């Protein structure tokens, strides 16, 4: 009887030991699975934090940039007006063409009046460097302006196009225009092609676009036709 009980207890011990080991194995698997899940959750959480941080930084930078484009103007200490400032680079091609156009209009628009000629030339020279002054001196020494005055001649200019290359600096500009030389008996139409370079400069009342013309050169200036009046 005692032997049977001992055998019974031995079998029970084996079963209990088996179940305990099985439970330990399941516990180990559950712990390993839990660690994997924690790692996955941690990685997902870290990625979400990175995305939120990146979006926050981008939004803050975008907001600051938008605020930088605004100018607040105080009117006599009473009213607050909001003015949006424009990016100057967007208007630069237009300003290049207008600067060159204005220079040619002042430099080549002449009347039989010494003071008017000098006034226009001086204003044009404020927009350019010495290359334009040298061209003016050359014409003056050849008696061109004296013939304008003595012959009672008016000269106007029509700008056909201003071609500028803003991909290189200084900016390369070529101007295509027509001169109309008006005499008492006829009108002479002449072609005018000039080239120059533009350097950025300080804006002022005399130079509102902030450019200086360099290397001014007349490439072509010849008669096209003569019209009787």
**Domain residue spans of the chain:** 1-85, 88-228
5 band by pLDDT with thresholds 50, 70 and 90:
very low
Strand order of the β-sheet with 171-182 is 154-165, 171-182, 186-200, 211-228
Determine the topology of domain 88-228 in CATH: Nuclear Transport Factor 2; Chain: A, (3.10.450)
Q: Across-strand partners of 215?
A: none
Q: Is the pLDDT of residue 52 over 50?
A: yes
In the prediction, which pLDDT does 158 show? Answer: 94
Q: Is the pLDDT of residue 100 over 90?
A: yes
Q: Is the pLDDT of residue 134 over 80?
A: yes
Least confident span in 61-70, 130-139, 160-169? 61-70
219 touches 195 (CB < 8 A): yes
Q: Is the pLDDT of residue 220 over 50?
A: yes
End-to-end alpha-carbon separation of the chain, Å?
150
Who has greater pLDDT, 191 or 68? 191
Could you give the CA distance from residue 175 to residue 181 in angstroms, rounded to a whole number?
A: 19
> What are the DSSP E strand ranges found in the chain?
70-75, 79-84, 154-165, 171-182, 186-200, 211-228
39 band by pLDDT with thresholds 50, 70 and 90:
confident
Q: pTM of this prediction?
A: 0.62
Query: Average pLDDT in the 84-99 region?
Result: 72
155: left (phi over 0), alpha (psi -120 to 50) or beta: beta
Task: Give the DSSP letter of residue 39.
Answer: H
In the prediction, which pLDDT does 10 show? Answer: 52
142 band by pLDDT with thresholds 50, 70 and 90:
very high
């Amino acid at each position: 009887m005692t032997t049977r009980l001992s055998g019974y207890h031995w079998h029970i011990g084996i079963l209990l030991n088996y179940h305990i080991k099985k439970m330990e194995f399941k516990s180990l698997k559950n712990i390993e699975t839990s660690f994997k899940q924690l790692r996955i959750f941690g990685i997902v959480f870290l990625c979400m934090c990175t995305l939120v941080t990146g979006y926050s930084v981008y939004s803050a930078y975008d907001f600051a940039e938008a605020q930088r484009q605004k100018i607040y103007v105080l009117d006599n200490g009473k009213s607050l007006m909001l003015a949006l400032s424009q990016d100057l680079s967007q208007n630069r091609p237009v300003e290049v063409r207008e600067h060159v156009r204005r220079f040619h209009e002042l430099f080549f628009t002449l009347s039989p009046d010494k003071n008017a000629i000098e006034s226009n030339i001086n204003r044009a020279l404020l927009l350019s460097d010495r290359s334009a002054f040298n061209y003016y001196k050359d014409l003056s020494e050849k008696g061109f302006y004296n013939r304008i005055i003595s012959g009672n001649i008016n000269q106007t200019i029509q700008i056909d196009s201003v071609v500028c290359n803003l991909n290189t600096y200084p900016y390369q500009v070529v101007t295509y225009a027509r001169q109309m030389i008006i005499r008492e008996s006829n009108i002479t139409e002449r072609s005018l092609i000039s080239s120059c370079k533009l350097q950025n400069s300080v804006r002022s009342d005399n130079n509102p676009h902030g450019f200086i013309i360099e290397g001014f050169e007349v490439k072509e200036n010849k008669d096209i036709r003569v019209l009787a009046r």
